[in-house]
Amino acid sequence: MFSYYLKNINSAFRLWLSAVLLTLPSLLFAQSEGGRCRVFGTVKDDAGTPIELASVRVKGQAALTVTNLKGEYSLYCSKADTVTVVFSMIGYETRKRFVRSPGDSVRIDVVLPPFGMQEFGEAVVKAQSLRLGSTERIAVPDTKLMPSTTGNAIEEIIATQAGVSTHNELSSQYNVRGGSFDENCVYINGVEVYRPMLVRSGQQEGLSIINPDMVESINFSSGGFEARYGDKMSSVLDITYKRPQEFEASVQASALGAGGYVGWGNKHVSLMASLRYKTTRYLLGTLDTDAEYRPNFIDGQAFFSWRPNKRWSLDVLGNISDNRYDFVPKERETKFGTMENAKSFKVYFDGKEQDAFRTLFGSATLTHHFNPETFLALQCSSFTTREEETYDISGEYWLEDAISADYFGVGTYMEHARNRLRANVFNTALKFRTRFKSHTLQAGVEWQRQSIKENAREWEMRDSMGYSLPYDEDVLSLIYSLRAKSDLSNNRWNAFAQDTWRFKTKAGLFNLTYGLRLTSWDWNKETLVSPRLSVGFLPAKAEKWTFRFATGFYYQAPFYKEIRDTTLFHGAATVNLNRNIKSQRSIHFVLGSDYTFRLFDRPFRFTVETYYKALSNLIPYTVDNVRVVYYGRNVGKGYAAGIDFKLFGEFVPGTDSWITFSLMRTKEKIDGVWIPRPTDQRYNVSLYFTDYFPGSTRWRFTLKAAFADGLPFGPPRSERSQQTLRAPAYKRVDVGMSYRLVKNEDRHIQHGFGKIFKNVWLGLDAFNLLGIKNVNSYYWVTDISNTQYAVPNYLTGLQINGRITMQF
């Protein structure tokens, strides 16, 4: 095991070294225009008390810092005719100061009044601060300039974070520290959101509900999160939408789709609306299967916020999506194996696949603000999905030696499915928060109603050398068949209470968050209590360091897919809903530290976190492309342990970049045998790097790279103990080059057509720049002697994409 890590760490180191060599010229030679200016001073509240950890940043630049225990700050920025310094802190009003023609240094002392004491000013994106809790605030990048294969830029940014990985560029799903796709909780404006359940492959997956144009802030936790967050075992993604204070709009288009966004607001009302269209037809043309691909995904979204006075506010969010995937395969040829054992797999197809996923989501939040620090909010949300997966596809295949042309297998197969699912999830919640002295108290109760109906029928017939499989001289049998008709209705109740206590001692600043979460489910009469605790520490004598520890119980209540108890007997599958199913449990132990420093006179942060998760009451599962198929029974226990590293900073002045490296191991024990879990990714390296041409703000370069260990797999519909083979490592590099055709942020263009634009960007992306053939899954060919051959299903190849973005 240790030798294996050394071998793969060596490969990861080579990728890391390549990234360093790529960025080194910019690190050494990139210079900012006009020199540097030091900005320093203090930040206090209206009572004269210093505010620690207040964010201080320079607008339009990457210069940012936070205040120390005495409310003092100091940062360096690029000189300009006018420098705008933004001061912000949660619970306080945001303040801006303008400095004209700054010298080598300037002192700015600022007073921040408590939030709500004055009218709203211009909305400002808050900068990232030091991390004392279990949730990390991620800076919102300019996603319009980033190469994106899915159109779901926020999830692609999350996939580059420490402890997070993905193995499919067609999907926005991600794994966190050994967890499955279903173990990640996602919130928008405090409301949990959901995704379709029948999606089998990345080709079928449409746009996620998160619209990057509408996002103000991103908070992410990869473990040890607070009690106010819901019942998932791996991670929390908490998205807050912005409330524009003036008119803004943008339009973008590329070979993969198009979209438009418009926002407007004032001190009482704000409104955002967007329409997006996505098609991956151009990208799917690089797959081995020659086919007529017709993927069409449409998403419309609107967010309305009204604050008539200081006491009341109303937020309404609506989303509708219509995702359709039509597929008419023609032929396929896949070559695989080694130089000494090369094989060729050819298939000629007949038939088609037609899938439709239609979802509706709506939420409304009515909030009463008793004072600037206390509010009570009533939330209601509804999610509805209508899903259909239908296909009739037959194929004639030849598996042969690519050198000698000897046949290993010749046969036919036919696949049929008529799968339909209807689901409705309704939530009502009451949430309360107040702050007094150094405590922030939060509490809430929630009721959820789930109604799900499924009618599924699918089967597969295989014929090898003229014999049907499984072979029986008396009976014609199918190799696999499933029939399921289920109707599920249930109720869930949740409640939580937590306190965040921030206090100072001579040793430094402490941030203590502790709480309880209570869940109850009438399906299996289960009631659970989850205690959670996190501690953050900022030493008084070493303010460049922060330390944190988090632990807690995390129960994942089964959703519909986990409840389906599927029994397979001689290829025939029967489905029953298991009323004795229990919630899976994960006990987290997370220890982490941040170290902030300056290199080449630019800010950097190095983060390390180690963790251990004790898993029990596990419901084993297999992964079919991106679909997670569960056993439907609690028959396992296991663990996940690892360590994550992240280096974040200005590798190039004015831009944010990061590189992450993770080691992880996760196993489960089933029937007394320890085996790797389907997400046992032992190492992972991710790089997100941005650059620009020195002396110019018109050219922008973005690079994303991933190098991740392959995941375990095995024959389809086999026991988990047989799924111990290992897929090849996932290696991919995407790059994007952008040119700013029109730059009019200061409105200096007053005449002609150009005056309506704020920015116009032209872009060119190279997806899978190195042309590496990554394996997504396997198609299994069985001959008459029951010998099985795993034929790799490769992902997309090298492809060029053009795009244009116009901001108004």
pLDDT at residue 470, rounded to an integer: 64
- The string of pLDDT tens digits covering residues 204-249 is 888 899 999 999 889 999 999 999 998 899 999 999 999 998 899 9
Task: Give the up-direction half-sphere exposure of residue 362: CA atoms within 13 A in the CB hemisphere.
Answer: 4
List the single range of 295-304, 380-389, 485-494, 537-546 with lowest mean pLDDT.
Answer: 537-546
Average pLDDT over residues 577-581: 92
Q: Name which of 181, 241, 161 is nearest 209 in CA terms.
A: 241
Average pLDDT over residues 745-758: 79
3-state secondary structure 542-564: CCCEEEEEEEEEEEECCCHHHHE
pLDDT at residue 474, rounded to an integer: 63
**Residue 18 DSSP code:** H
Give the integer Cα–Cα distance in Å for 337 and 340.
8
pLDDT at residue 553, rounded to an integer: 96
Give the integer Cα–Cα distance in Å for 756 and 759.
9
Q: If pLDDT is split at 50, 70 and 90, which confidence band does 465 have?
A: low
Query: Which is higher by pLDDT, 129 or 484?
Result: 484
Give the integer Cα–Cα distance in Å for 164 and 593.
18
pLDDT at residue 635, rounded to an integer: 92
Per-residue tokens: 438: 């150094």
Q: Name which of 331, 355, 345 is nearest 401 in CA terms.
A: 345
Contact assessment for residue 181 and residue 166, using Cβ atoms and an 8 Å cutoff: no
pLDDT at residue 19, rounded to an integer: 42
What is the distance between the terminal CA atoms of the chain, rounded to a whole angstrom?
56
State whether the Cα torsion 241-247-252-257 is positive or negative: positive
Q: Is the pLDDT of residue 130 over 90?
A: no
Q: If pLDDT is split at 50, 70 and 90, which confidence band does 666 have?
A: very high
Helices (H) and strands (E) in the chain, counts: 4, 47
Q: Which residues, 6+ apart, have CB-to-CB distance to 107 below 8 Å?
A: 39, 40, 41
Average pLDDT over residues 687-711: 87
Beta partners for residue 534, in sequence order? 513, 550
Give the integer Cα–Cα distance in Å for 37 and 770.
41
Q: Which residues, 6+ apart, have CB-to-CB distance to 62 below 8 Å?
A: 603, 650, 653, 654, 655, 656
Q: What is the pTM of this model?
A: 0.83
Average pLDDT over residues 707-724: 85
pLDDT at residue 81, rounded to an integer: 66
Summary mean pLDDT of the chain:
85
3-state secondary structure 136-183: EEECCCCHHHCCCCCCCHHHHHHCCCCCEECCCCCCCCCEECCCCHHH
Give the integer Cα–Cα distance in Å for 508 and 130.
14
Q: If pLDDT is split at 50, 70 and 90, which confidence band does 119 have?
A: very low
Contact assessment for residue 800 and residue 764, using Cβ atoms and an 8 Å cutoff: yes
Q: Is the pLDDT of residue 3 over 50?
A: no
Contact assessment for residue 203 and residue 793, using Cβ atoms and an 8 Å cutoff: no
Q: Is the pLDDT of residue 365 over 50?
A: yes
Determine phi and psi for 783, rounding to 5 degrees.
Answer: -95, 180
Q: If pLDDT is split at 50, 70 and 90, which confidence band does 523 have?
A: very high
pLDDT at residue 397, rounded to an integer: 87
Per-residue tokens: 456: 């599924």
Tell me how crowded residue 630 is: count the other CB atoms within 10 A of its CB. 22
Per-residue tokens: 791: 């034929």
Contact assessment for residue 75 and residue 38, using Cβ atoms and an 8 Å cutoff: yes
Q: Is the pLDDT of residue 780 over 70?
A: yes
pLDDT at residue 17, rounded to an integer: 40
